[in-house]
Amino acid sequence: MTATEPAISHDEVDLDGVLHVIDQHSDVLFTWDYERSRPALVKLYEKAKTSQWNASTDLDWSTAVDLEKIVAESQAAFADVDPLRTDPDSPLRSWSEAQWIEFGINMQTYALSQFLHGEQGALICTGLITATVPWIDAKYYAATQVMDEARHVEVFARYIEEKMGGAFPINANLGGLLDDIVADSRWDITYLGMQIMVEGLALAAFGFMQALTTEPLLKQLLRYVMSDEARHVAFGVLSLQEYYQELGAAEIRERQEFAYEAAVALQRRMMGPDVFARMGADPDEVTRWIDEKGDPGQQLFQMMLFSKIVPNCRKLGILDAGDGWLRTKFEELNIIQFEHLVDTTEEYGTLDAVAADLAV
């Protein structure tokens, strides 16, 4: 696929296939208590109001994007050590250089497409939070995040359409997780699933991509989005930390199990089976080979995506709550080593310098 060959043709779109309906029954909460009682959320809200940016005017959309050149340069640094390319038993060993470049473009498009779909999930979930959270300070902040998420959907959709030719469908694991988050009637599960798990992983993923890409428009786009996402994750931590202190052991265990299942789903969403299928390879065969042989670079990337999630779960108190069930599960996923990294409230949410927002 090239930048002019869309992954999804708009001429073939069926509205019935585009719209996705979830039966959602949550209590809508009004509060008549308007006292500003949570200083950390007040501070975050004030920061959000002064950190808005305009995707139409603050990014240079006239920037030319040469995907083949960018991918070729990126692949050149790792071609000799990539087992999918070098191992004689690799199911992709016979691919030509042109096929590997096409694969790289597809993978880039696939990753950005999942970001796009995840951002719409965040848009939906934050709208729910404004209606279901019981505190006025949280409602105020959530309203600013709704605007942030709409802007993120806009900017990723525009970049993928104009610079990459069109989006891939949502990954089944990510789609199932978003369904579970939205369908659950408990407001704190919306927070936990979206603000901590999905947004936490996205923040780490954006950071890696922003550091590695040489494409100037994408680099700037990701920097703007990251400045918003940091506040979003901090919002989740600040809100849930208070609430989870009030829950009993059985309720905490339910949250631990949800966090673990979300982590597994998020880990699998980056495998890209749709890409292998589009390239004519058997996705099950390729995935099985990677699982058996191991891909050190891919494994490191997968693990590092949880560098925000694990310390934030520790901050919430659910990592070691009860018998430490979640710690054990994170050890099995080989991501527990991130637990002592700085959590997002320390890094962004309650400090005076909130990640130097919008510094590009």
In Å, how far are 79, 81, 199 from 202, measured between CA atoms?
26, 27, 5
Reported pTM: 0.86
User: What's the rounded mean pLDDT across residues 68-87?
Assistant: 82
C-alpha 273/C-alpha 275 separation (Å) is: 5
Helix extents (H) in 171-282: 172-183, 187-190, 199-212, 216-244, 249-269, 273-278
Model confidence at 152: pLDDT above 90: yes
C-alpha 298/C-alpha 270 separation (Å) is: 10
- Report whether 191 contacts 239 (CB < 8 A): yes
242-277 pLDDT tens trace: 899 999 999 999 999 999 999 988 877 766 788 999
C-alpha 115/C-alpha 6 separation (Å) is: 17
Q: Per mean pLDDT, which range of 7-11, 217-221, 263-267 is the poorest?
A: 7-11
Task: Assign 121 to helix, strand or coil.
Answer: helix
User: What's the rounded mean pLDDT across residues 141-155?
Assistant: 97
Task: Note whether residue 56 is domain-resident.
Answer: no
Task: Note whether residue 18 is domain-resident.
Answer: no
Name which of 334, 187, 330 is nearest 262 in CA terms: 330
User: Residue 41, class by beta-carbon neighbours within 10 Å (0-12 exposed, 13-18 middle, 19+ buried)?
Assistant: buried
Count of domains for the chain: 1
Task: Assign 239 to helix, strand or coil.
Answer: helix
Q: b/e map of 77-109 (b: 16 or more CB within 10 Å)?
A: eeeeebbbbeeeebbbeebeeeebbbbbbbbbb
Q: What is the pLDDT of residue 178?
A: 93
Task: Note whether residue 23 is domain-resident.
Answer: no
Domain of 203, in residue numbers: 42-51+64-349
Name which of 223, 69, 217, 238 is nearest 142 in CA terms: 238
Question: Around Cβ 215, how many Cβ atoms within 10 Å?
Answer: 22
Which 8-state DSSP code applies to residue 168? P
Task: Note whether residue 22 is domain-resident.
Answer: no
Task: Note whether residue 20 is domain-resident.
Answer: no
C-alpha 207/C-alpha 9 separation (Å) is: 30
51-67 pLDDT tens trace: 999 999 999 999 999 99
Model confidence at 1: pLDDT above 50: no
Task: Note whether residue 57 is domain-resident.
Answer: no
Task: List the CATH number of the domain containing 344.
Answer: 1.20.1260
Higher pLDDT, 10 or 271: 271
Task: Note whether residue 11 is domain-resident.
Answer: no
Task: Note whether residue 250 is domain-resident.
Answer: yes
Name which of 231, 135, 217, 180 is nearest 22 in CA terms: 180
Q: What count of Cα atoms within 13 Å lies in the side-chain half-sphere of residue 290? A: 22
Highest mean pLDDT among 267-281, 292-306, 311-325: 311-325
